Structure 1
Amino acid sequence: MSDPAPILSLVIPCYNEEGNLRHLIAAIREAVDPLNLPYEVVITDDCSKDNSWNILKDLAAKDPRIRVQRFVFNCGESAASWAGLKAARGQYLVTLDADLQNDPRDLPKFIEALKSCDCVCGTRVESRGQGDNIVRIISSRIANSVRNKLSGEKISDAGCTYRAFKRECIGNLKFFKGMHRFLPTLFKIEGHTVTEIAVSNNPRFAGKSNYGVWNRLFASFYDLLAVRWMKKRMFRFEVAEKIN
């Protein structure tokens, strides 16, 4: 008998995370298995330079719920996230990082919150000091303030990519570099409802962060302007009736 189709897909971009991957999968199993919910883990290796891909292949060989893919060349977090979302089969999609700063133990809270909205965004406002140094905290706050100011949003932690949403949220989206930072705004443009829940922010388990002040603010500035333009110019429509 074949495994049931997954209801939940955990989508994870990966770049040089060899020290985290086995611990990440163990933490996901511990959090999700008790829910008795068919799930899959889709991990996209963004052409890592370490041993990540060999570890991913080993994990996938031992558990059919783990599906992995690898880019030919490094494409960035947005591309790895989008490739995973396109490959995912679940009714509900969850994006999280591979470094274990996003705690899988928060997953039940996301699933519960999805009962009343289309997208649930994690916010680390209360827990930020638990896992990050002062430079990352300040750079994140500056970036979040600028994004909200220019995009007209009120998202308390736009830099947190720990999110859960229904599959239909990505149905009409078009991929562009940097899009992972703006998914809540893009979902709202499409008419979907978005809410936030507080999540933990653990210290990085192993390896080092690939993102700093430049990535959080300056490198995404042109993407932010594009999203601002889309928010003002895009329109939605619904067909009331069709004949032939």
Structure 2
Amino acid sequence: MSQPQLSVVIPAFNEEGNVLALLGEVVAALRGVVPFEVIFVDDCSRDGTLALLQGARAGTPELRVLAHHQQSGQSTAIRNGVKAARAPWVATLDGDGQNDPADLPKLLAARDAGQADVKLYAGWRVNRQDTGSKKWASKWANAIRSRLLRDATPDTGCGTKLFERAAFLDLPYFDHMHRYLPALMQRAGWKTVSVPVNHRPRGAGSSKYTNFGRALVGIRDLMGVAWLITRSKRTDIRELE
């Protein structure tokens, strides 16, 4: 397989009803558009997710499958996928199939038309297909985050993202960091752009998060990111001849 120009990283935990359809959609969206690879990172699923992905490798040369030795969460799965990626740019999708792979060419087009100092193109779910309580909780979380971090991003919870691999790996790592990528990229001196994307109902299985549990973790993480921003210091450098 040729050197990929895009790596699509997809974390998955107990998503046996979604992963094969999602893989097929990614392949359909990207074949003939850009040389790519798809990296699924299984976070110790207890169903048939890993076996299905292993079986799909024979018919999908772009597919790579990573498996955690112990359950470590979505941020760790994304980071391990990015570390293993062979392309200079990485796209992410959630493993539940609610993100639409057909939006990936749109993100690539936005990158190609964008400025060189934009290192993150973040999906913006303009028509969310979630329960009312989940949409309400997300609305308030986004409002609080935006006010405190001033990241000018309407939706940081969308799993659809496109970013430069090197810029991502230069960010401080912590659990749940994937929810704060715009603020962290801006802290590093880069620009970010939000791109409207499609959002779909979950096809199978159930959400791995509750509103209450997410809120408890989110408050602590939000304060931590705000602290990181206040402690940021950067400067350009030059090498003497």
TM-score, L = length of structure 2 = 0.94
1:206 corresponds to: 204
1:80 matched residue in structure 2: 77
Query: What does 1:85-100 align with in structure 2 at a 5 Å threshold?
Result: 85-100=82-97
Distance in 2, matches of 1:212 and 1:74, equals: 18
Alignment partner of 1:68 is 2:60: no
Letter in 2 for 1:121: A
- Secondary structure (helix, strand or coil) at the match of 1:114 reads helix
Q: Counterpart of 1:28? A: 26
Asked if residue 162 in structure 1 is aligned to residue 157 in structure 2, the reply is no
Match of 2:101 among 98, 101, 104: 104
Q: Please give the per-residue CA displacement for 1:102-141, whole angstroms capped at 9, x wherever unaligned.
A: 00111111001112132111111x211xx21101110111
> CA–CA distance in 2 between the matches of 1:21 and 1:198?
23
Task: Supply the distance in 2 between the matched residues of 1:143 and 1:60 (Cα, whole angstroms).
Answer: 39
Match of 1:120 in 2: 121
Distance in 1 (alpha carbons) for counterparts of 2:150 and 2:172: 21
Structure 1 CA distance for aligned equivalents of residues 174 and 147 of structure 2: 21
Shifted more, 210-219 versus 187-196: the winner is 210-219
Please tell me the residue identity of whatever aligns with 1:143.
A
Where 2:32 maps in the other structure, the secondary structure is: helix
Query: After the TM superposition, which parts of structure 1 deviate over 6 Å for at least 4 consecutive aligned residues?
Result: none
The C-alpha deviation readout for 1:11-62, integer Å capped at 9, x for no partner, is: 1100000000110011111111131x11000111000111111011111233
Structure-2 separation of matches of 1:83 and 1:214: 27
The aligned runs of 1:144-183 (5 Å cut-off) are 144-183=142-181
Contact 1:159–1:216 (8 Å) recurs in 2: no
Q: Is 2:12–2:42's contact at 8 Å kept on the other side of the alignment? A: yes
SS in 2 for 1:93: strand
Residues 143 and 216, structure 1, Cα contact 8 Å, conserved in 2: no
Q: What amino acid does structure 1 have at the position aligned with 2:227?
A: W
CA, structure 1 residues 46+171, in 2 after alignment: closer, same or farther (shift >3 Å)?
A: closer
Residues 15 and 48, structure 1, Cα contact 8 Å, conserved in 2: yes
Give the conservation status (yes or no) of the 8 Å contact 2:90–2:163.
Answer: yes
Name structure 1 gaps, 5 residues minimum. Answer: none
Equivalent-residue separation in structure 2 for 1:78 and 1:197 (angstroms): 21
225, 228, 231: which one pairs with 1:227?
Answer: 225
| Consecutive unaligned residues in structure 2, runs of 5 or more | none
In the alignment, which residue of structure 1 is the partner of 2:130? 132
